[in-house]
Chains A and B, each alone.
Chain A
Amino acid sequence: TQLLEQSPQFLSIQEGENLTVYCNSSSVFSSLQWYRQEPGEGPVLLVTVVTGGEVKKLKRLTFQFGDARKDSSLHITAAQPGDTGLYLCAGWLYSSASKIIFGSGTRLSIRP
Chain B
Amino acid sequence: DTGVSQDPRHKITKRGQNVTFRCDPISEHNRLYWYRQTLGQGPEFLTYFQNEAQLEKSRLLSDRFSAERPKGSFSTLEIQRTEQGDSAMYLCASSPRGLLGEKLFFGSGTQLSVL
Partners in one complex: yes
Cβ contact within 8 Å between B101 and A31: yes
A42-B93, A42-B107, A44-B106 known; A98-B98 Cβ under 8 A: yes
* Whole-angstrom CA separation of A29 from B106 in the bound complex: 22
Q: Which residues of A contact B45 (CB under 8 A)?
A: 99-102
* Whole-angstrom distance between the Cβ of A66 and the nearest chain B Cβ: 16
- Chain B interface mostly helix, strand, loop or mixed? loop
Q: Is A92 an interface residue (CB 8 A)?
A: yes
Cβ contact within 8 Å between A43 and B48: no
Cβ contact within 8 Å between B42 and A100: no
The count of residues in chain B whose C-beta lies closer than 8 Å to any C-beta of chain A is 24
Q: Is B109 an interface residue (CB 8 A)?
A: yes
Cβ contact within 8 Å between B42 and A102: yes
* Whole-angstrom distance between the Cβ of A11 and the nearest chain B Cβ: 13
Cβ contact within 8 Å between B42 and A88: yes
- Can you give 25 A-B contacts (C-beta < 8 A)? A30-B100, A33-B103, A33-B104, A40-B108, A40-B111, A41-B109, A42-B4, A42-B106, A42-B107, A43-B43, A48-B101, A88-B42, A92-B100, A98-B48, A98-B98, A99-B33, A99-B48, A99-B56, A100-B45, A100-B104, A102-B42, A102-B45, A104-B41, A105-B41, A107-B40
Q: Told that A30-B100, A42-B106, A98-B56 touch, could you supply 18 new A-B pairs with CB distance under 8 A?
A: A4-B42, A30-B101, A31-B100, A33-B104, A40-B108, A41-B108, A42-B93, A43-B43, A43-B91, A43-B104, A45-B104, A50-B101, A90-B42, A97-B100, A98-B98, A102-B44, A103-B42, A107-B40
